[in-house]
Structure 1
Amino acid sequence: MKRRTAGFTLIEVLVALLVFGLIAAAASEVGSQYIGTYERIRDRTLATWVAENRMAELRLEQEFPGISENSEEQEYGPWRWLVTTSVSGTEEPSIRRVDVNVARFTGDQDEARSVHTLSGFIGEQK
């Protein structure tokens, strides 16, 4: 009678590699989703701060803002942002609607991707 030697057969090794490969692929997908979610939350948080800072600047100005739209580039954190401020009139002449759109430039591109928009109202100080 022949004795069987200890060890794994080729089929057992291939099945183990298949299982390991499936687990590694699933873990990679979860990691990729985590990184994407982290980047979106980070960008949204920074864009919110930039928009709130712009709104605070407008509220602190001595003059009542006129109806206008302007854009300016700004450095905040390690990124460049495009801040577009749109001031429009309302039915009440002493109140203006302000929309601040914040977009982030990606890499060395001149194209900015919109991240956050903040809307608010500013009243005339008398």
Structure 2
Amino acid sequence: MLVRVDPGSDIPLFAQVAASVRADAAAGRLRPGDRLPSARDVAGALGVNLHTVLRAYQELRDEGLVDMRRGRGAVVTDAAAPLAQLHDDVVALTLRARDLGLSPDMLASLVKEIARDR
């Protein structure tokens, strides 16, 4: 697993770490039962504060994507499987939105609104 962040982005680092883990789960690079690297290792590799990575892991735990146990670390849950099943649909949607000239932010906003209304 390779966690990617852009320090120059307006998106908070913890949110970028969480999004990177979600993307790996959606792409099938992370599967249920896989262990995430320790927060300390990720923080050291990225050059960010340990609490930044812990906040990302806690967000993923709150979403149900990872289970965090003392001494066991963060482990990917069965919630990763549906993300992987949607991957191809999401790729197709983003390509279609790009073809129509929609920005990623506009697409994300549209998806959130539609999901909220259903």
TM-score by length of 2: 0.30
Higher helix content, 1 or 2? 2
Higher strand content, 1 or 2? 1
TM-score by length of 1: 0.29
